Amino acid sequence: MIQKYRKKPVVIEAVKWTGDNWSEIHNWMNEVHQNGNRKLNDIFIYTLEGVMVADLGDYIIKGIKNEFYPCKSDVFCLSYEEDTYDCLGS
């Protein structure tokens, strides 16, 4: 019998790849590798499914298992909203 399931709400960390924030992304991810051709503005990300490419304008998401993966901007905006609740007050 087919069941229906609802995705659990999870707060994630993400950053949009703008082409100017390479250092921020590199420091955050530690294991990210950028394409050697800066004109392409691609970031190669080692994911659980293999190497994926973050294009300029994509979001890079840190998942619930501390894995990283790219997400197209339109999909990101449909799937996520900014978390305004901060239980630690910081």
60 occurs within a structural domain: yes
Q: What is the pLDDT of residue 36?
A: 55
Domain that includes residue 55, residue range:
13-79
**3 lies in some domain:** no
57 domain residue, yes or no: yes
Domain total of the chain:
1
Answer whether residue 55 is part of any domain: yes
pTM (predicted TM-score): 0.78
In a domain, 88, yes or no: no
Q: Give the DSSP letter string of 35-89.
A: -S-GGG--EEEEETTEEEEEPTT-EEEE-TTS-EEEE-HHHHHHH-------TT-
pLDDT tens by residue, 52-80: 999 999 999 999 888 999 999 999 999 98
Identify whether 22 is part of a domain: yes
